[in-house]
Homo-oligomer: A and B are copies of this chain.
């Protein structure tokens, strides 16, 4: 393919956001469910959930300063919990709609047409239409001085997944779960065709499994 060098510095603000958000590759698409102390629910789509470790099972979430996402951050800091719900092919439109800037007295669950479920006594709402639903407890919060974004670290304390997506080695078949990936700011992808590779070892060539 013919490549070209792009000067980010010269880009207009909206073009720059579209370009830079494309540069990391495919991203997760998750709905983050929270509630405030009075039980008012909030739901926000985010693409920044990142694995920090498996023992304990820790994930980080980057929350940009300003805008509606502050409701999510405020609720997490107030209640100490949040839910993570995979966006699936069936709820792309509803999930994307949660990014609209609703006023604080309107729940994105109602506005987007998704249903909260309070599962197993967990204190943050999960999404009934999601096939993978996680409950996380806040473990650490820090503000990154470099650009004011917030890093929220949570530990998974509840994990509900589809039976048919569970593989023998305990990994999940995300295609079977209907989970989608996100690219840039607005493009949702189903899992597509896949290639599974065996554990890499220095003295063996790459081997495909399945």
Chain A residues close to B by CB (< 8 Å): 1-6, 8, 11, 13-30, 47-60, 62, 64, 84, 86-87, 92-94, 96-103, 106, 111, 120, 131-134, 139-140, 144-147, 149, 151, 153, 156, 158-167, 169-172, 174-175, 177-202, 204-206, 208-209
Contact = CB atoms under 8 A, between A and B. Distances in A.
22 contacts: A1-B163, A3-B133, A4-B163, A5-B158, A6-B161, A17-B54, A21-B54, A23-B57, A23-B156, A25-B30, A26-B28, A26-B174, A48-B50, A48-B51, A50-B62, A52-B146, A99-B200, A111-B202, A144-B153, A171-B187, A181-B181, A186-B196
A191 B200 contact: no
B97 A206 contact: yes
Nearest to A147: B53
A153 B21 CA distance: 15
Query: Top 3 closest A-B pairs, CB basis?
Result: A192-B192, A25-B28, A26-B181
A172 B133 contact: no
Contacts of A139: 146
A24 B51 contact: yes
Contacts of A197: 92-93, 96, 186-188
Contact of A57 (B8, B92, B205): B8
Which of A170, A188, A193 has the most B CB atoms < 10 Å from its CB?
Answer: A170
B190 A160 contact: no
Nearest to A13: B55
A163 B25 contact: no
A102 B201 CA distance: 8
A131 B22 CA distance: 13
A23 B134 contact: yes
B198 A186 contact: yes
A146 B156 contact: no
A92 B209 CA distance: 13
Which of A1, A111, A161 has the most B CB atoms < 10 Å from its CB?
Answer: A1
